[in-house]
A and B are shown apart, each in its own frame.
Chain A
């Protein structure tokens, strides 16, 4: 058994085990075209070397820790690792992965032990590099997904690292011990985070508590998800995000919205302030989204929503922008002017590369209850053309190719907010169309396509935020609003133009 194992490992240096490298290697530049025509720092991303599309769990661990499969220091290695670490919960528990990595570290000598020359060659060329890879892999895992490890897991890996302290790998072991012992970073609230104090009704016990709700904004810099220089979506610790909503505490949204959108307030808000405030309102939540919130559709089921707090918040905020725009237009007397004002806001948001906010504003204007009253027919000249152009860009016709191209051509260190709904759809359709396993093998191609969709969404999170004009009152209004039931928007629409009309 042992010897067979070793033979397999040796064989793995040349080609994959049990499965010829035929189906769908990671030669994605041929299959799909390069993911990003991007800045130099990112250039090698996703132009990966061949990697089998699916492997048995043991094969997968061997590939990931096979030092000969990659050029030394190549980013391909990092991408494969990033993909795996991001998605590995679909195949492994923390405990089982630790076990497999330790087994891999304890790689056994080859069967022909009497051939000293060969043994020496093997130790130097294979055993030591494999062990190094395993330790490097641990380092990445702990660094970027520290919250995968429970106290028991930490105890186990620490024990393993301690056992290496006296040997050849002492320095690596020491730094890993230091890493695992490092206290979790404290996530501090940024100055501009909005804290909502409100009465939280405890329905079960009939009590009320004063509760503080934070926007969940975190201080930077945080970790980098992979080693892509400027492109550095950082990992945050999902377990520490504690953002919850309670539907009980606020005044009814319709009331709130109608109060706010007295036309005077909106008219007095400059286009710039409106643009930057909506920009910031969605940018704030975008920047906090953890990559693992984006797969498995946790936002769509009540029981799993707690695993995607930032995604949920972002969806709510997107809907609130839709509602805010729609109700602003429907409740004011100066409907055409307000409609035009929001078109300019959407255009400015697009120029600022906040595609998500731009799409939210346009979707608000283009929403059926607003569209039916026919304001777009009253637009004239360039603003009418601009509206048509924006509608086309956010429209469903071409699978959002225009937005995708613009985002793909943006460097990761530029301020940009991609569209969450597009990312969620790409991930969902990938997961729906392919199984986690393929004939018992871990489907790495699925993981990679999901990771690519997620990465193309989160890769701007670490870009520097520039100071913007900001209307605090409007921001607070938006934060305090809840989603409106669509019937309210329709009722308002029917008030403007009766159903018969």
Chain B
């Protein structure tokens, strides 16, 4: 079956749990055949509004120190998941820098983005939900809190970002930019 493919970039400071979100999403809870070298390891199909969407998750995990590569990830992405940890105000502050980097690379004033406050299972917070919501407002993006550890709102993050990407592409007059599979001519 033909399906749209969206490239979703997960960014955030070190230690906020962004790769946990990726792993939790692409592999689910039970990891029987865990092999990050296989081609479709970072791919997962989800249904959004009754449409099958293939997601390519681009996670800079383990490669943050390679500056050109990091930019490459950002440039390739259709949508961005901007992650901070609710127990780290530094990671929260870093989100503004990361967003600026993304906007500079994309040379746009607005890109599809979801701000995620991860580790919401932790009781001792440095960043309140309200602060997260307010920052998301200034970014003109959606906001959600999650816990990769407890599997809270993980799929919802990706559903939200897919909706944003679709809306953005519709606004730009692009219907289905990347078709894969037979019959997609």
What residues make up the interface of A, taking CB atoms closer than 8 Å to B?
24, 31-32, 297, 299-301, 315, 318-319, 322, 326, 360, 363-364, 366-368, 371-372, 395-399, 401, 404, 421, 424-430, 432-434, 445, 449, 453, 483, 486, 490, 499
Contacts and interface: CB of A to CB of B under 8 A. Distances in A.
B8 to A, nearest CB: 12
Interface in B58-79: 58-59, 61-69, 71-76
Contacts of A368: 71-72, 74-75, 104-105
Interface string B33-56: 111111111100000000000001
Nearest to A433: B23
A432 B37 contact: no
- Report, nearest first, the 7 A-B pairs whose CB atoms are least far apart: A428-B62, A429-B36, A322-B68, A363-B68, A425-B62, A433-B23, A424-B62
Contacts of B27: 433
Nearest to A486: B67
B71 A397 contact: no
B171 interface: no
Contacts of B34: 430, 433-434, 445, 449
A434 B20 CA distance: 10
Given A319-B67, A368-B71, A396 B58 contact: yes
B66 A399 contact: no
Contacts of A428: 19, 61-62
B64 to A, nearest CB: 6
Interface of B: 14, 19-20, 22-23, 27, 31-42, 56, 58-59, 61-69, 71-76, 104-105, 107
A414 B164 CA distance: 48
Given A326-B68, A399-B41, 11 more contacts: A297-B62, A301-B14, A315-B66, A318-B66, A364-B68, A367-B71, A368-B74, A396-B56, A432-B20, A433-B34, A453-B36
B61 A429 contact: yes
A24 B32 contact: yes
B18 to A, nearest CB: 10
A490 B64 CA distance: 19
A310 B62 CA distance: 16
B23 A432 contact: yes
Contact of B42 (A367, A399, A445, A449): A399
Contacts of A449: 34-36
Contacts of B41: 399, 429
Contacts of B74: 368
A66 to B, nearest CB: 26
A421 B14 contact: no
Contacts of B37: 32, 399, 404, 426, 453
Contacts of B66: 315, 318-319, 322, 363, 421
Contact of A300 (B20, B42, B65): B65
17 contacts: A24-B32, A322-B67, A366-B68, A368-B74, A398-B39, A399-B41, A401-B39, A421-B69, A425-B63, A428-B19, A429-B59, A430-B34, A430-B36, A432-B19, A433-B23, A433-B31, A449-B34
B72 A396 contact: yes
A429 B23 contact: yes
A121 to B, nearest CB: 40
A326 B33 CA distance: 40
A486 B107 CA distance: 16
Contacts of A499: 107
Contacts of A426: 36-37, 62
A396 B76 CA distance: 8
A399 B39 contact: yes
